[in-house]
């Protein structure tokens, strides 16, 4: 186990120790003023969920619902991030501009019903593109890399092109934050250019003072699980985040962005 992984275990245990009655927790390296704690009840209202926000410079971590932050759920379309990394690394796609032609199957979201590139399919969350890429990657190569990056429970025994969609693969918000930290710091077992490309196609909001890189995920079968994972570049500081809710990815994103505003990150 690496030093970084050990540090995450310590932070996770500390989260439980610092949990307060509102379901929020702060894991400070330095003392954190009380007013900086996240108003978790206000952020989530009546929706069940969890959120982790971590400052990579100070290791300060904010957690809403620390118990749920350690519970694993299917990643849904948030898996597009490792899928893109693996696809680029093994040559299943050449670059972010590699086009796959639409198969003329009409799907429920209009923006899916056209040709896509790796980058545009990330932004539109076009599942069919990433499923086709997963088939090109193949089970053996996919399993190799999922194991190497230690992504959640590492179980891809479900369908070869849908194991991340309400199937066998599961990951916790805490593990998502660890994965995002490794991506930001470029310590994952991929070429530097591969990681830079994926970080670039994750850009969700680019402003003068900050850039949000993020990916939503929604369990489309019942809209009962939503993710938003990623990081924010803010000056010389990077903040990683992961949220999941018993709702849609849009809801997880709204909770996360409001929390980032409350923390004066956005």
The tens digit of pLDDT for each residue in 145-174 reads 999 999 999 999 999 999 999 999 999 999
Given a cut of 90, is residue 178 above it in pLDDT? yes
pLDDT averaged over every residue in the chain: 90
Given 24, 69, 77, 78, which residue is catalytic?
77
Regarding predicted confidence, which is higher, 75 or 13? 75
Least confident of 28-37, 195-204, 226-235, 247-256: 28-37
DSSP secondary structure of 17-31 = HT--TTSEEEE-SS-
Q: With 0-12 CB in 10 A as exposed, 13-18 as middle and 19+ as buried, what is 73? A: buried
Assign 30 a pLDDT band (cuts: 50, 70, 90): very low
Whether 77 is a known active-site residue: answer yes
* 115-155 tens-digit pLDDT: 999 999 999 999 999 999 999 999 999 999 999 999 999 99
Given a cut of 70, is residue 9 above it in pLDDT? no
Q: What is the average pLDDT across 250-263?
A: 98
Alpha helices in the chain (DSSP H): 3-17, 40-44, 66-69, 80-90, 118-124, 127-137, 139-148, 173-184, 192-201, 249-262
Distance CA 196, CA 89 (A): 12
Given a cut of 80, is residue 7 above it in pLDDT? no
Q: What is the pLDDT of residue 72?
A: 98
Q: What is the pLDDT of residue 26?
A: 42
Q: What is the pLDDT of residue 37?
A: 76
Q: What is the pLDDT of residue 5?
A: 47
Q: With 0-12 CB in 10 A as exposed, 13-18 as middle and 19+ as buried, what is 217? A: buried
Given a cut of 90, is residue 8 above it in pLDDT? no
Given a cut of 70, is residue 27 above it in pLDDT? no
Q: What is the average pLDDT across 76-95?
A: 98
Given a cut of 60, is residue 204 above it in pLDDT? yes
Q: What is the pLDDT of residue 225?
A: 98
Given a cut of 80, is residue 98 above it in pLDDT? yes
Assign 183 a pLDDT band (cuts: 50, 70, 90): very high
3-state DSSP assignment of residue 262: helix
Q: Are 147 and 154 in contact (CB under 8 A)?
A: yes
Nearest alpha carbon to residue 181 among 74, 57, 83: 57
Q: What is the pLDDT of residue 25?
A: 45
Q: What is the pLDDT of residue 257?
A: 98
Q: What is the pLDDT of residue 20?
A: 39
């Amino acid at each position: 186990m690496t030093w970084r992984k050990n540090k995450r275990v310590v932070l996770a245990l500390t989260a439980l120790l610092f949990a307060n009655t509102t379901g929020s927790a702060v894991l400070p390296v330095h003392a954190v003023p009380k007013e900086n704690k996240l108003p978790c009840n206000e952020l989530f209202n009546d929706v069940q969920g969890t959120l982790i926000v971590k400052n990579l410079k100070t290791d300060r971590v904010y957690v809403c619902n620390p118990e749920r932050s350690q519970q694993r759920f299917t990643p849904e379309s948030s898996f597009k991030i490792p899928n893109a990394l693996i696809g680029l690394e093994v040559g299943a796609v050449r670059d972010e501009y590699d086009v796959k032609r639409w198969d003329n199957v009409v799907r429920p979201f209009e923006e899916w019903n056209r040709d896509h590139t790796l980058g545009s399919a990330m932004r539109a969350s076009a599942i069919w593109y990433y499923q086709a890429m997963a088939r090109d990657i193949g089970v053996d190569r996919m399993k190799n890399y999922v194991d190497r990056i230690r992504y959640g429970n590492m179980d891809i025994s479900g369908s070869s092109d849908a194991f991340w969609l309400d199937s066998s693969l599961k990951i916790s918000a805490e593990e998502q934050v660890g994965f995002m930290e490794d991506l930001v710091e470029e310590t994952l077992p991929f070429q530097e250019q591969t990681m830079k490309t994926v970080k670039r196609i994750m850009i969700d909001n680019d402003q003068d003072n900050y850039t949000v890189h993020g990916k939503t995920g929604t369990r489309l079968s019942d809209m009962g699980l939503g993710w938003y994972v990623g990081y924010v570049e803010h000056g010389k500081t990077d903040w990683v985040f992961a949220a999941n809710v018993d709702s849609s990815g849009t809801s997880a994103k709204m909770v996360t962005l409001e929390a980032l505003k409350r923390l004066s990150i956005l």
